[in-house]
Structure 1
Amino acid sequence: MYHILVAEDEPWIRNSVVEMVNRIGEGTITVSEATNGEEAWALIQELWPTVLITDIMMPKMDGLSLIQKIHEHDIPMMYIIISGYDNFQYAQKAIHYGVTEYLLKPVDMDQLREALGRSEQRMGNLKEISSYMSRFQQLVDAIGENAPQTINRKMSDLIDSVLKLKYINPPVRRNLLRIFEWKISGMVKELSPGQFVPAIPADADDGAILRYFNQLADVLIMHVAEQSKSNTNHIIKRVCDFIHTHYKKDISLTEMAQYANMSISYFSAWFKKCTGRTLVQYIQEVRIEKAKELLLETQLKNYEIAERVGFATQPYFTRVFKSSVGVSPNMFRKRMGS
């Protein structure tokens, strides 16, 4: 299984692409979504997707700038660009960054399936790299929930397994270490602006690299502990209340981060730590609960309920409902309404 991130500012196009990816993947692909380039960049640092499907023209940060940023940070990823006809020549500039897949709007499902198939064939060792990144992210997410000794042991095990890659794939080893360093340093600076974080010494041997990452982990653990002491209950309550009130809207990660007065990347991780869900998952749960009420209390058709609770299409609503509840909306109404 691999992860795909869809970045598109137009809700109906984004929802359509997400729905098509889910249908194409049939359980072999997980998919997340972003409403602009800045959101996508924040989610990339949290989710480490294997494939990015991005529009070119987006607010905050356009698709080409996003790909350029990923390229500058040497984050391994496959790209599929979706573009309007007028922007197609502009989109082709991305060939400099290794983009080979371009789809014109409106996106055709067969063409998307073929593009994903070609991307999967070209992945090479990307899946292996993604597994290391997933282990690393799980470790970072566990800080504050597990004992420092457990975090340090898991950090040592992870870094040791990466160091062993120097015998079979030195470039992957170097890139993973650099990405891990960049990620932890960024989190420390997010929690404590102005905090100096040293870089890995250029001549460090394996033992020094292990010590370096454990020291970085210790600094991050300390700042996370300090942050958890502050009372954030009222902030998460305000955020959740906002979602329960405005769930019909296309609520974006950017909007909620601004509402909570946090950066996008910090809000995304903070919200997941507080609720156990991503923002999209939480919003979908609220919408499904509202849909259940409408199914039992009204005679509205499924497409009317989908529209009322904020889903762009009835098929998307039906798929999410069945995935969440275990039965289709019609079956739920039949079973629970009798």
Structure 2
Amino acid sequence: MRIVIVEDEAAIREGMVKLLHQINPQYEVVGKAVDGQSGYELIRSVRPDLIIVDIRMPDMNGLAMIRKLQEEQVRCKVLVISAYSEFEYAREAIELGIINYLLKPLKIAELKKALEKVDEEIRRDQHKEYGFSLENIFMGCINGQLEPDEYFHEQTLGKYGFTVQEPAELFMVWLGKGYEQQKDRAKELLEHVADHTVKFAANIRELKGWDMLLMILYRQHAGESQYTYFSKSVVPMLCDNLKKPLVCVWRRMEHLLDASKVIPEMKKELEWNLCFPDRALICKRVIQKQQIVPIKYPLELEDRAKQALREKNWEDLVSTYERLYDHLVRENHLPSQIKESLIRFNWSLVTTQKDKKEESELRIQKILQRIASADTWNQIETDMKEFMTFLDYSEPKTEEPSVSDLIQRAKVLIRKYYNQGITLEETARKLFVSEEYLSAQFKKETGSTFTETVRKYRIEKVKELLVETHLKMNQIAELSGYSDPKYMSRVFKEEVGMLPTEYRKEIQ
């Protein structure tokens, strides 16, 4: 509480400063004045919470000073101290709304009681002015700065029909890196949910620092939980209308006031998304029911991956990672154990390689740190794509120096699977890069598109089979990756300038 003392007697004025500090160290004397006029000017400047003022002073008495301040809409609590008990002074003080009136000599107990009364009045006024908006109530619960008393509960119950002591539920929508792009749409969808129900009231908050929206469900009908409704209806609706990443977490609280403690716990529960199926609503109660099985680290897969890396067998390496992912999610494991196993597996491959530059190792360590803090498979997939670029699994270079290891590996896959309908999407997935990036790099480095290259390999295979075998056209089409021999003949003529049958006759 900020206090100004207006008293013409120096001993009383200085003694009051010391006494106030003894009564409550939180009381702050922000100014002192020796008469009404200087007090008036000081109070207009510093705007204290409380004025402690004598009545009889030179130039302008205390009551005249208060009247003048009130006329100028300067509102402060007032505690009058006076050696005079005349009725006229008391009547004028009452007219000014001053009910705190103490006689000199002051008794410490009476002063302390009067100050506590003023402090309570100030807190109530602050509640009225700042605390009783829904905005401040919910923000106070979230940041833990709300300290409600009985008066606060009475006012919120009377004005809004609930108190922060009542049970409430929280619905958290984490949007990750897509927060800025999707928050408005997500908020619009949540508001639609809130507007079309009478079973609960809701307040939606943006928690930008955590890339999430928080929906607070309060004033619930008969205390009924909305978990089932949100799990079966709201979460699927959000998944249908928003892009990944999207993770939803639920928590029921005994008291709305507990939100500041519960929200960080919900943030930690995000990583259970690694163990729950898509479109699931993560909930502490459901997590606690999980039969957790310790992970048995797959040493056999680690050895196989190391061998594939030493032999530059990219296909076997990818296959081993696919088996690893399947192993990590086959049973119910702790999310932390899943990430720890993946990090251990990755690091074992890093240590297998020789001549790794220090710069590369530092970047790899940062990738592994991101995996350790990941909450979704989407995050892990992004980090794994970057991690794989540091592994030296390229075949001995037979291509021109300008062709990167990535394109060489892509060509290996094309040569191996061109007759099995291999696509750009499938190849990009096996190489841990995006379709767009692989397509652009392929065209840039080879001068041909991915599709053109696949077609080239198929046509070469058709030529080989035409010359070296007596197979029929439908058999040749099947062996070279074409489902329709007529389509194969048309493509062959576009590339070679003649039909396959004509080519066979000419060569023979």
Please tell me the TM-score bracket, short chain as reference: 0.3 to 0.5
Larger Cα-atom Rg: 2
Q: What TM-score results when the alignment is normalised by the length of structure 1?
A: 0.36
| The structure with more helix, counted as a fraction of residues | 1
TM-score by length of 2: 0.24
Q: Which structure would you say has the larger RCO, counting Cα contacts within 8 Å and 6 or more residues apart?
A: 1
